[in-house]
Structure 1
């Protein structure tokens, strides 16, 4: 807005102050073209920070050659690649190796304003140590419930030590971002400090019901009026896929032509194929191809209880799928049962199966719920998420500045 002042005929532009560009170091042990929720959401945040005029330095393990070949073009940010080791059971994923000395040298030469650590593995721990050695402010993400995986991988005795490590890690940071209010409350009760809720967005232009393909559904053996249920994600024990199979079996009794589609890969694929030989295994998908697979589903079944968020929930909602899930993570935060999805109480497997069967029998209710899901997902804009992320970084930077006083201790005017 422009205002003209009479004095000296000066024209004054009342423009907002230019955005303060920051030098940001982002450390993550997973990033595209790896396919998982952490990689995808970190890529969206990094892209958003770059668009907001920040100088982003991305530190991550070097990926396998066959994955690197899938990348197109030159990255839009400054990438620093470190050594990595394959993750057990997931050979396409890498975890970083201890790199404190290299990071201290790197950040001594090009000092960032703040270090953000997305993962708590060896590379993340090295980054935390290096940042503290250089007195740099540090923020982190709590993205994976490692402690909740114990019962699935026979690590029950290690659950407490793992939680102790995670608490020690995050409490050394100036702020830790969590994706839901429920997770903030849970972690606070377990002794985690300085928690800020920063949710996840979804690309509602890519994940769109308009991508539904009759040809794709035909390739699955489904006609226009046949019910197609599906799951997207890792085929792994912690995803509680036995409940998905139980729901499918219950639906098949009343809808013999119903189909089940698994999108993704993982160590349980052979077991699932043996237990559900008529299911479709589409493998790992990405980009517009993944979006088309979502759009081809009528019911999205998500039975995981180990998520901190679960990006697949919002992708399915944006794609116009009716979602059946447990009241946990993103589903618990975003879904009102019977309005924009269906929720069973956490761990109430019989209720999950019953809700799936009810939804399978009521096409009109599925359409209404799917429309509500799409409306909800369209509100989850990545630009708003990036702005919130940025504000947490700015808070950490401000608290690290000499002479900073908390609001309650500011001197009287």
Structure 2
């Protein structure tokens, strides 16, 4: 793979963006990939940096950031970058914290047909507010939204950063964290000599590492003055150093440290404090935790994901300096608690090495490439970070599906009488019955039938599922319930994704409290430009579903992770619902999540057998007459397609492995 990296800042600068880029280059080189870094050139008269790890380097003339001359900006144009892109011939472009150079890079890449992966790392609008440029905040937010909206995929480091981007209307956002050098940052780096130099009286050391800049709000550290038996140690450089030295006369300022010297300093801390509210991630917090140091941080942005409250540290409300002081004092005054928090912090950081993180990044590159090949990437937004299906497959006795027209099976006419539909849930029920039969055969006995109900009705919404269908499923004694709902709510003008997810969560909680296993399917829209503007709200709803699934112990089918659903043959001629091919694919994807053996292989075989099946797309005029106009007429009359309808299987029916398409048997 050939990767072009547009780096907003680069060596010799030392910051989170540069460190991430260097780690990515190191791992790409180890994996045998080729890389070209496009970055701002150093000032005239300064030597150019060496390209690390075999990467090529293209430097763009730069200017100093006003008020922060160490930071260089490269105001290039797409035309200036186009020859560089063409000459290198990349498979994918990596945009590292894009804003100036990256903004031109995303356009130059798009013009060359190169898919782009934008890595969000800097809250530029928030920094503008902090630097006294609040009137520019809205314009800067629009700039961020424009750049990331053009990218094939955007990777954000934390749930707070994802939410910020989604509020700006950025689609196709996935979570991708930051790696850590766990060999370098570890408790064993703690040094008696370092402690003797910086806390000669045996003081408890309160430490900070990072840029000494206004956005870090380091003046808040003055609230820690006078804590008995403590020493404040600050590592870093920046434009605020002189002011902070005057404000914090008792603090030790060590300047910028790198490598082992930095690791020794971090491990020498007893408590790490981070007051900056604009962190999209918080790499230095992660390094402190890996070093076995408990953290007290402001409860905003990236720290919300990193600090496990009352286990690895404490979070305080932004602006609550008394709360910050109280949390620091709590840890300073209790050595046993510090040790317990430190051990938990180190354990929490295991498995977060850079190699694994960059391997994940390469998978995101591959996804971006495939999305660009498959079609318009606007219409599939994977939640990302979904755990692999559990090894043990579920073999329910009573399976109930709830939802709307998608789960009812609308437009899956395969082997059905006129006006009747099959659907992915019915197909999944048969796969579960077959799985039970296979298990019975291996045990030398007949397996009992699967009992199945489908309570879904077209046009139903979240409230209907929570208030009616889920209680009915519990009443039927379900031990597995599949839930796919939300689309009819999310297309509403004033839809509130978080509130919808919260309401659905009340129903999921009822199911889990009743001992029911739950399969959650993320909501989705068809690949239709008319609904592209809805993608951010669907993405936000789906991310909330992923959090519900993790919190409640549900299995989650991430529809947007499967590129085959971009194929127009998957969709019905009505351009809204799945067709028979789509229902088949969704059933097999769900079966795989539930642990049905060989579900993926069966899906490929089934799809090959039905290759060529499906209806041809309708001409627009005919589509309007048959589908759009009736829908609009119902809306004008305040009616829905599901008015007066009931579920097709509102009581349990028996499914046996040999039933196939035959009518099932109703049971109690």
Q: Same fold (TM over 0.5)?
A: yes
Find out whether 1:137 has 2:137 as its counterpart. no
Provide the C-alpha distance between the structure 1 equivalents of 2:147 and 2:43, rounded to a whole number of angstroms.
Answer: 28
TM-score (norm 2): 0.55
Match of 2:394 in 1: none
Q: Tell me which moved more, 86-95 or 234-243.
A: 86-95
Deviation of residue 62 (structure 1)?
2.1
Q: Tell me which moved more, 139-148 or 104-113.
A: 104-113
Relative to structure 1, the CA distance from residue 383 to residue 295 in structure 2 (aligned partners, 3 Å threshold; closer, same or farther) is same
Provide the C-alpha distance between the structure 2 equivalents of 1:122 and 1:265, rounded to a whole number of angstroms.
Answer: 24
Among candidates 77, 82, 98, match of residue 76 of structure 2: 98
Find out whether 1:408 has 2:565 as its counterpart. yes
Among candidates 102, 108, 130, match of residue 152 of structure 1: 130
Among candidates 51, 58, 61, match of residue 37 of structure 2: 58
Deviation of residue 67 (structure 1)?
7.9
Alignment of 1:211-230 (within 5 A): 211-223=189-201, 225-230=202-207
Residues 95 and 121 of structure 1 are in contact (CA less than 8 Å); yes or no, is this contact kept in structure 2? no
Secondary structure of 2:72's counterpart equals: strand
Find out whether 1:299 has 2:271 as its counterpart. yes
Match of 1:175 in 2: 153
Among candidates 240, 247, 258, match of residue 217 of structure 2: 240
Residues 222 and 259 of structure 1 are in contact (CA less than 8 Å); yes or no, is this contact kept in structure 2? no
Deviation of residue 173 (structure 1)?
0.9
Deviation of residue 388 (structure 1)?
1.8
Tell which has more relative contact order, 1 or 2 (C-alpha 8 A, sep 6+): 1
Match of 2:314 in 1: 342
Aligned residues: 385
Residues 280 and 301 of structure 2 are in contact (CA less than 8 Å); yes or no, is this contact kept in structure 1? yes
The structure with the larger Rg is 2
Match of 1:281 in 2: 253
Residues 324 and 352 of structure 1 are in contact (CA less than 8 Å); yes or no, is this contact kept in structure 2? yes
Describe the superposition over 1:145-175 as per-residue Cα deviations: whole angstroms up to 9, x where unpaired.
1111233211111111110111011101111
Provide the C-alpha distance between the structure 1 equivalents of 2:65 and 2:101, rounded to a whole number of angstroms.
Answer: 13
Match of 2:351 in 1: 379
Describe the superposition over 1:376-405 as per-residue Cα deviations: whole angstroms up to 9, x where unpaired.
122312122112211211111112226689
Match of 1:7 in 2: none
Provide the C-alpha distance between the structure 2 equivalents of 1:390 and 1:209, rounded to a whole number of angstroms.
Answer: 31
Among candidates 303, 319, 324, match of residue 296 of structure 2: 324
Gaps of 5+ in 1: 1-21
Residues 243 and 353 of structure 1 are in contact (CA less than 8 Å); yes or no, is this contact kept in structure 2? no
Residues 60 and 82 of structure 1 are in contact (CA less than 8 Å); yes or no, is this contact kept in structure 2? yes
Match of 1:113 in 2: 91
Find out whether 1:355 has 2:327 as its counterpart. yes
Deviation of residue 68 (structure 1)?
5.3
Relative to structure 1, the CA distance from residue 403 to residue 302 in structure 2 (aligned partners, 3 Å threshold; closer, same or farther) is closer
Residues 34 and 67 of structure 1 are in contact (CA less than 8 Å); yes or no, is this contact kept in structure 2? no
Deviation of residue 66 (structure 1)?
9.4
Residues 145 and 307 of structure 1 are in contact (CA less than 8 Å); yes or no, is this contact kept in structure 2? yes
Find out whether 1:397 has 2:369 as its counterpart. yes
Deviation of residue 101 (structure 1)?
2.8
TM-score (norm 1): 0.87
Provide the C-alpha distance between the structure 2 equivalents of 1:275 and 1:110, rounded to a whole number of angstroms.
Answer: 50
